[in-house]
Structure 1
């Protein structure tokens, strides 16, 4: 499931609430470009060393994620969404199609 962080709700308060609810939280920080974004996903999700740092590799790696507990990926997507809306849309589509059912995504657009 992909959802948007509600307007006026802070990332810190939301991640605290998710953790209290028993979910693991992986924070994908802001990125300025495609390379930074792929690096951010790789670090936040502990993608394997063989991760190819391209969109196809992101798609493949997300399908292989099995965190073992309910997880929410919090993606700080505001900068990429503003600077490269096509990349934002592509990554959002990859997340929607590739993540296992026990992994949700919460997108912060600020």
Structure 2
């Protein structure tokens, strides 16, 4: 997982870098609470209706998502996650980063994450 400042890189510049690397970029919009971040990932990644909106469910669903990318032979994907300052101060920010890093390791080269600090 890479972390960038929005003062250094714009979302458009990061999307262009991802495309230049032959990957698909998927923007995860900003959310400022743990629950809203979990819901935003679920909505953006089209998690199943029975998604539990908790960290375990995020972990499981990200692994399923990574499997689908790999199994379907899809172009590797990079999430560009917008992270507002208010959420970075929340303890759950670090835990969600750990979940995302685990998903990256699990997925091999099929999934990468960029967090953009707004």
Same fold (TM over 0.5): yes
Instruction: From 47, 71, 75, give the equivalent of 1:69.
Output: 75
- Contact 2:103/2:111 (CA < 8 Å) preserved in 1? no
Q: SS at the partner of 2:114?
A: strand
> Could you tell me the TM-score, scaled by structure 2's length?
0.81
> Could you tell me the TM-score, scaled by structure 1's length?
0.86
Supply the distance in 2 between the matched residues of 1:106 and 1:8 (Cα, whole angstroms). 13
Q: Give the Å deviation of 1:76.
A: 0.8
Give the unaligned 5+ runs of structure 2: none
1:109 matches 2:109: no
Q: Deviations over 1:64-104 (max 9, x none)?
A: 1122221000111133113x1x1000000011112412100
1:88 matches 2:93: yes
Q: Give the Å deviation of 1:21.
A: 3.1
Supply the distance in 2 between the matched residues of 1:21 and 1:41 (Cα, whole angstroms). 23
Q: Give the Å deviation of 1:41.
A: 0.6
Q: Aligned pair count?
A: 107
Q: Deviations over 1:7-48 (max 9, x none)?
A: 511111111231243211111111121121011111222222
Supply the distance in 2 between the matched residues of 1:21 and 1:44 (Cα, whole angstroms). 22
